[in-house]
Amino acid sequence: MAFDSLAELLAMGRHGPYVWSAWGISLGLLGLSLLLVWRESRQVRRMLHRQLKREVAARSEWAGGTGAGGVSRTLDESRDGSAAERVEKNES
């Protein structure tokens, strides 16, 4: 072992305060970085969830309503998930 005792390990030949403070600052910054990334990802997930809810509500209102002049709009979903508008003329 490089050091004979725990005291020598902590002192590190008089360089202990520098070494251990560098370790502490590094670990603190890594922890802070992880915390900030976690908070940001939570905010993004919440924003995307709210946006999805708004889009679903808008689609249901849009697809269910009848426009002026008897034009009915529906939303067609393709296999890849993209939406295309289909306008049908109501002949009544």
Instruction: Kindly state the tokens that stand for 86.
Output: 């289909």
Instruction: Kindly state the tokens that stand for 57.
Output: 């509500």
- The one-character DSSP state at 4 is S
All structural domains of the chain with their residue ranges? 14-89
| Model pLDDT, residue 47 | 95
Q: Any long-range contacts for 55-64 (C-beta under 8 Å, 24+ apart)?
A: 59/83
* pLDDT averages per 10-residue partition of the chain, 92 residues: 84 90 97 98 95 89 58 51 50 48
Enter the pTM of the model: 0.52
| Model pLDDT, residue 61 | 79
